[in-house]
Amino acid sequence: MTRLETIASVGRRALPNHWDVLALGAIMAGFVGVVHAFHGMNVPLPAANEPAVSLEYWNLPYYALRTVLRMFAALVASFIFTFTYATLAAKSRRLELVLIPILDILQSVPILGFLSFTVTFFLGLFPGNVLGAECAAIFAVFTSQAWNMAFSFYQSLRTVPRDLDEVSRGFRLTGWQKFWQLEAPFAVPGLLWNTMMSMSGGWFFVVAAEAITVGDTTITLPGVGSYIAAANDQGRWDAILAAVITMAVVILLYDQLLFRPVVAWAGKFRVETTASQVVERSWALDTIQRTVWLRSAYTPLVRALRSAALWRIGARPSFRKRDLPVLTTVSRIIDAIWIVAVVVVALWAIWTVVQYVGTELTWSDALDVVGLTLITLLRVIVLIALATAVWVPISVWIGLRPRVAERAQPLAQFLAAFPVNLLFGAAVSIVLAFNLNPDIWLSLLIVFGTQWYIVFNVIAGAAAFPNDLKEAAATFHVHGWQWWKNVILPGIFPYYITGAITASGGSWNASIVAEYVKWKDNSVVAHGVGSYIAQATEKGDFPKIVLGVAVMSVCVTLFNRLFWRQLYAYAERRLRL
Amino acid sequence: MLDAAATALLDVSHISQTFRKGSGEVGLPVLDDVSLSLRDGEIVGLLGRSGCGKSTLLRIIAGLAKPTSGTVKFQGQEVGGPAEGVAMVFQSFALYPWLSVLDNVELGLRAQGETPEETRKRALAAIDLIGLDGFESAYPKELSGGMRQRVGFARALVVHPKILLMDEPFSALDVLTAETLRTDLLDLWSEGRMPIKSILMVTHNIEEAVLMCDRILVLASNPGRIASEIKVSLVHPRDRLDPEFRQLVDKIYALMTQRSESKPSGRESALPGTGLAMALPRVSTNSLAGLLEELAAPPYNGRADLPHLADSLQLEIDELFPLAETLQLLRFAELEEGDMKLTAAGKRFVEADVDQRKKLFGDHLLAYVPLAARIKRVLDERPSHHAPATRFREELEDYMSEDYAERTMRAIINLGRYGELFAYDENAQAFSLENPQ
């Protein structure tokens, strides 16, 4: 995959504004609400009634299947969310005002920080039933996919080419027809690429969510993640190895049977003037499309869906709202009322959060958390920098050699999807065995899984670097540092940024599992907001979780806006080839 | 075909269009009091340069955009949205890349709830008519531009419209392909094999308009309005080399340049004395120099007929006119009656070496382009010799739309750099007097 794909949410405005603050307040208030509703009743949450995970090898295929099913359930939920939320945001100016800042902040809220709230919520919803725990795990994966997908879809809806839109209106397609004939197909390439990327990240979260302790409640859902958790508890190396191999097979199948076919298929939805030079291929897709009996199996379904897409539901088009010359006074007044209402509700939400956190915690607690967050921030920055220093030269070397790149590229994508948190326990046993400083050595775990995003994006960038520019550099004898500085680094920079942003986002999430790791009866703790949240989660100390998650979200948001998006905008403006 | 008794198929009366600025305030008008009518059996051309609002006008007629004031009546009914019986062909083809040729053509009928059988029958007939047989299952990406536009035509014709609207349908095609498509369309039209009653086409190609249209409406820009109407009574098929044809082309060239001489675009709304309101087109300084050299050399020897020049240089009027007008503005050339004449300064420019050319260019820019003089003066006066671009852009926006202001800024930056009047830093978005050390 050598095409430069854009991360849906990053091309947007950079500086945080008052809407972000309001959205953050509203989201945190939502968490507080969940805790109040279910935890405040003072009833201990019933544990799920599921048999303990057994470490027999022959159980692994079944566990893997359970894990995969959770992934797909989350995927279905994410698509439903995307089609509704993003469509509402794109079609209604007033809803857009509220929905988009919320989505923007939700992206920065660490998903694993969510976990305690969602577990509480879903267990409260289905008391004593394993369904609640399942929902919580699925929801964790959902939160790792949905925001990005919704953003991508929203952006596609807003950038439907004007002439294609005019065709649909000229032929008087109804809202429903237009959605399925024009808007959804147009969004497909971006949406699927973002979906597949989020799905890669999703393995990490499904594994983390299968075995979790919130206060007195311990949840173990049958799956590869809980299998590993049990293996960590017992310190069984063989079981860990078996789980890792199982996971590798699952990811390989996912890559070959889903990721590649879907990306190759999505190619036909690209709006391009000429047939693309880069055509993604997939043997699986070729098989499906070329095998006669397979075709005859799905053709009736495709036909039925096609005619469903032509049902005449919804209004006929009239003039485009955005084209209307002047806003009427009435609509201005409604706008004003709407904005005031939104602001009042959000302020009230912020007040609720402050009050809730304030009942148990003081300003000095808040200051502590800010300090811890800065430690984690430092960790993320240093490790991304380290990963950059190590991997960029190697990836460039690989990318410039098409033969090597062809093999290395899928490997890097595979590694990015592999849930490395499976290995954290094992890694910690090494930290313990050699009596290493956890503050330093646990940090490495943060980029364990995320560095591969940098690798495969930079490989793609180097592979796509135009040949004539390479030749020009060679002709003028540009060598050494000059070559790196003036030729290749600017050339791969947009790709690097795309990879680094993904890696950075993933690292924040990883910090929650990486800064506090257990192996047998030992736990190793590094200082940072990640371990603060993880420990508070284990104790079920909700005010602390809210505080930790809120401070971390603010920090991630600021870091993204003030650093990554500025770089991204610069790369878009200056360095796009 | 021009029967006085023919009924008006379409009536456009007193259309004005004003766009909102980004800030929400009412901007400058794009179209100003445009009226026209379309009768059975005629092809009418809307001829104008880019930015004169001709595409906006076409979209208002199609019911895709709402005018600020005025009405559009189609067969006596006021148009309040995309009307049945009107179909459009786009410059960019606007095919859905995920649909095959057949699916693209069928889309309009299927959407209206036509049965699959009837849809298929009519789609195949349209595909046959337009010469797309054998391409039914191809995807647009696999087709050449000409074939894609044929799909565009088939898609429009299959719904059996009364009026066919065409938005520069041939301008994205190469010369040969465009000519083939034009001829094919005219053949179908004169043989009466298409269900349409009338064609309204937007174009910026003068010869194309004369070749195809029964009536040509010439639009002037800023704000867009109909400047003149020309009847073309030559019989089809028309011959481009026919003296009458050439005469008509010359006449339209003269018409389109003469007006811009007496009333340069954008100047009407200017405050007296400032001259800042001049909307500058984006032109390449290399093309300016190249055009002057061409003009000075044989066979022109200092004076050229514009249609001839456009033809031999393979330039569309959208490319040639901005160049010619910029040269006129800088007093390097003069335009009169469809001719372009080199001035004394223009001769000196051609004979000079690179540095002298830049000096001469800079001097003329300062003397004749008020915006250049203004920027230079501000930079000279400020102790820092620095000025942000927004300062001038906002000033321009008092006189012209945001788009025009942006284009004018880009143009003045380009011209100023060539004339070495000032430097511009893209990152800082600021003008300065310093050159890089």
User: CB–CB of A170 and B82 under 8 A?
Assistant: yes
CA A533 vs CA A205, A240, A372, A544, B282: distances in Å: 16, 26, 10, 7, 57
User: CB–CB of A272 and B141 under 8 A?
Assistant: yes
Nearest to A255, CA basis, from A282, A286, A280, A278? A282
Question: What is the phi-psi region of residue B9: left when phi exceeds 0, alpha when psi lies from -120 to 50, beta otherwise?
Answer: alpha
Task: Give residue A514's pLDDT.
Answer: 84
Instruction: Looking at the complex, report in whole angstroms how far the Cα of residue A549 sits from the nearest Cα belonging to chain B.
Output: 37
Nearest-angstrom CA–CA distance, B60 and B36: 13
**CATH class, range A361-577:** mainly alpha
Closest chain B residue to A267 measured between Cα atoms? B98
Instruction: Looking at the complex, report in whole angstroms how far the Cα of residue A174 sits from the nearest Cα belonging to chain B.
Output: 8
- Cβ-based neighbours of B186, under 8 Å, separated by 6 or more: B212, B236, B237
* B78 and chain A in contact, CB less than 8 A: no
> Binning pLDDT at 50, 70 and 90, where does residue A42 land?
very low
Q: Which residues of B touch A268 (CB under 8 A)?
A: 97-98, 139
Task: Give residue A550's pLDDT.
Answer: 86
Check residue B236 and report its DSSP letter.
Answer: S
Nearest-angstrom CA–CA distance, A113 and A105: 14
* B22 and chain A in contact, CB less than 8 A: no
Helix (H) or strand (E) holding B72: strand B69-74
Q: What's the rounded mean pLDDT across residues A182-193?
A: 88
Hey, do A44-324 and A361-577 end up sharing a CATH topology, with the first three levels equal? yes
> Binning pLDDT at 50, 70 and 90, where does residue A5 land?
low
Instruction: Looking at the complex, report in whole angstroms how far the Cα of residue A478 sits from the nearest Cα belonging to chain B.
Output: 22
Instruction: Looking at the complex, report in whole angstroms how far the Cα of residue A302 sits from the nearest Cα belonging to chain B.
Output: 14
Task: Give residue B254's pLDDT.
Answer: 85
When CB atoms are compared, the residue of A170, A182, A275 closest to B142 is A275
Task: Give residue A393's pLDDT.
Answer: 94
Are B166 and B89 in contact by the 8 Å Cβ rule? The answer is: yes
* B141 and chain A in contact, CB less than 8 A: yes
Q: Dig out the tokens for B262 from the structure.
A: 């007496």
When CB atoms are compared, the residue of A161, A170, A320 closest to B87 is A170
User: CB–CB of A174 and B94 under 8 A?
Assistant: no
- Cβ-based neighbours of B435, under 8 Å, separated by 6 or more: B423
User: CB–CB of B110 and A275 under 8 A?
Assistant: no
Is the preceding peptide bond at B299 cis, omega within 30 degrees of 0? yes
Share of chain A above pLDDT 90, in %: 10
ipTM score for this prediction: 0.81
Nearest-angstrom CA–CA distance, B132 and B155: 11
Question: Between A and B, how many residue pairs show a Cβ–Cβ distance under 8 A?
Answer: 93
Rounded to 5 degrees, what angle do the CA atoms B74, B75, B80 make? Answer: 35
Q: Using DSSP bridges, classify how beta strands A522-525 and A516-519 pair: parallel, antiparallel or unpaired.
A: antiparallel
Q: Dig out the tokens for B282 from the structure.
A: 């984006």
**CATH class, range B8-257:** alpha beta
Nearest to A458, CA basis, from A505, A413, A507? A413
User: CB–CB of A269 and B87 under 8 A?
Assistant: no
User: CB–CB of A310 and B141 under 8 A?
Assistant: no
**CATH class, range B283-358:** mainly alpha
Closest chain B residue to A320 measured between Cα atoms? B65
Task: Give residue A278's pLDDT.
Answer: 57
Instruction: Looking at the complex, report in whole angstroms how far the Cα of residue B376 sits from the nearest Cα belonging to chain A.
Output: 27
Residue type at A198 in one-letter notation: S
Task: Give residue A280's pLDDT.
Answer: 67
User: CB–CB of A270 and B97 under 8 A?
Assistant: yes
pTM score of the predicted model: 0.82
Check residue B224 and report its DSSP letter.
Answer: B
Q: Which residues of A touch B110 (CB under 8 A)?
A: 310
Q: Which residues of A touch B151 (CB under 8 A)?
A: none
When CB atoms are compared, the residue of B62, B97, B110 closest to A310 is B110
Instruction: Looking at the complex, report in whole angstroms how far the Cα of residue B331 sits from the nearest Cα belonging to chain A.
Output: 36
* B65 and chain A in contact, CB less than 8 A: yes
pLDDT in tens, A98-128: 888 888 888 778 877 777 788 878 877 877 6
Task: Give residue B279's pLDDT.
Answer: 78
Ranges A50-64, A314-328, A362-376: which has the least confidence: A314-328
Q: Which CATH superfamily is domain A44-324 in?
A: MetI-like (1.10.3720.10)
Q: Which fold has domain B270-280+369-437?
A: Arc Repressor Mutant, subunit A (1.10.10)
Nearest-angstrom CA–CA distance, A392 and A342: 45
Nearest-angstrom CA–CA distance, A289 and A304: 18
- Structural domain boundaries in chain B: 8-257, 270-280+369-437, 283-358
Are B50 and B319 in contact by the 8 Å Cβ rule? The answer is: no
User: CB–CB of A320 and B64 under 8 A?
Assistant: yes
Mean pLDDT for all residues in chain A: 81
Q: Concatenate the DSSP letters of all residues of B12-60 into one string.
A: EEEEEEEEEPTTSSEEEEEEEEEEEEEETT-EEEEE--TTSSHHHHHHH
User: CB–CB of B82 and A317 under 8 A?
Assistant: yes
Rounded to 5 degrees, what angle do the CA atoms A519, A416, A492 make? Answer: 135
Instruction: Looking at the complex, report in whole angstroms how far the Cα of residue A158 sits from the nearest Cα belonging to chain B.
Output: 16
Closest chain A residue to B172 measured between Cα atoms? A273
Residues forming a β-bridge with B215: B44, B231
User: CB–CB of A326 and B26 under 8 A?
Assistant: yes
Task: Give residue B1's pLDDT.
Answer: 43
User: CB–CB of A325 and B19 under 8 A?
Assistant: yes
Q: Concatenate the DSSP letters of all residues of A15-83 into one string.
A: S--HHHHHHHHHHHHHHHHHIIIIITT-PPPPPP--PPPP--GGGHHHHHHHHHHHHHHHHHHHHHHII
Helix axes B145-157, B116-129, angle to 10 degrees: 130
Cβ-based burial of A207 (10 A; exposed 0-12, middle 13-18, buried ≥19): buried
- Cβ-based neighbours of A178, under 8 Å, separated by 6 or more: A168, A169, A317
Nearest-angstrom CA–CA distance, B128 and B310: 36
A interface with B, Cβ–Cβ < 8 A, is: 161, 163-164, 166-167, 169-174, 177, 181-182, 185, 188, 268-272, 274-276, 310, 312, 316-320, 323-327, 574
Nearest-angstrom CA–CA distance, A496 and A393: 12
Nearest-angstrom CA–CA distance, B276 and A533: 61
Q: What's the rounded mean pLDDT across residues A508-532?
A: 84
Q: Which residues of A touch B155 (CB under 8 A)?
A: 167
pLDDT in tens, B141-183: 889 989 999 999 999 999 999 999 999 999 888 889 999 999 9
Q: What's the rounded mean pLDDT across residues A510-532?
A: 84
Highest mean pLDDT among A210-224, A263-277, B306-320: B306-320
Nearest-angstrom CA–CA distance, B67 and B15: 6
Q: Dig out the tokens for A208 from the structure.
A: 């983390």
Residue A118's φ and ψ, nearest 5 degrees, are -70, -35
User: CB–CB of A174 and B111 under 8 A?
Assistant: yes
Nearest to A50, CA basis, from A122, A121, A131? A131
Highest mean pLDDT among A214-223, A415-424, B81-90: B81-90
User: CB–CB of A185 and B62 under 8 A?
Assistant: no
- Structural domain boundaries in chain A: 44-324, 361-577
* B425 and chain A in contact, CB less than 8 A: no
Q: Which residues of B touch A160 (CB under 8 A)?
A: none
Nearest to A6, CA basis, from A281, A197, A274, A200? A197
- Cβ-based neighbours of B319, under 8 Å, separated by 6 or more: B287
Query: Tens-digit pLDDT profile for chain B (437 aa)?
Result: 444 445 688 999 999 988 765 555 666 778 888 999 999 999 999 998 877 888 889 999 998 888 888 999 998 888 888 888 899 999 999 999 889 999 999 998 888 888 889 999 999 999 999 989 999 999 998 899 899 999 999 999 999 999 999 999 998 888 899 999 999 999 999 988 888 999 999 998 999 999 999 999 998 877 788 889 999 999 888 888 899 999 999 889 888 876 444 444 443 332 223 467 777 888 899 999 999 999 998 888 888 888 888 888 888 888 888 898 889 888 999 888 788 889 999 999 999 999 999 999 999 999 988 889 989 999 988 888 888 988 888 888 877 777 788 888 999 999 999 999 999 988 888 898 876 54
Q: Dig out the tokens for B168 from the structure.
A: 């520069």
CA B128 vs CA B155, B238, B258: distances in Å: 12, 26, 45
Instruction: Looking at the complex, report in whole angstroms how far the Cα of residue A315 sits from the nearest Cα belonging to chain B.
Output: 12
User: CB–CB of B82 and A169 under 8 A?
Assistant: yes
3-state secondary structure at position B425:
strand
Nearest-angstrom CA–CA distance, A512 and A501: 18
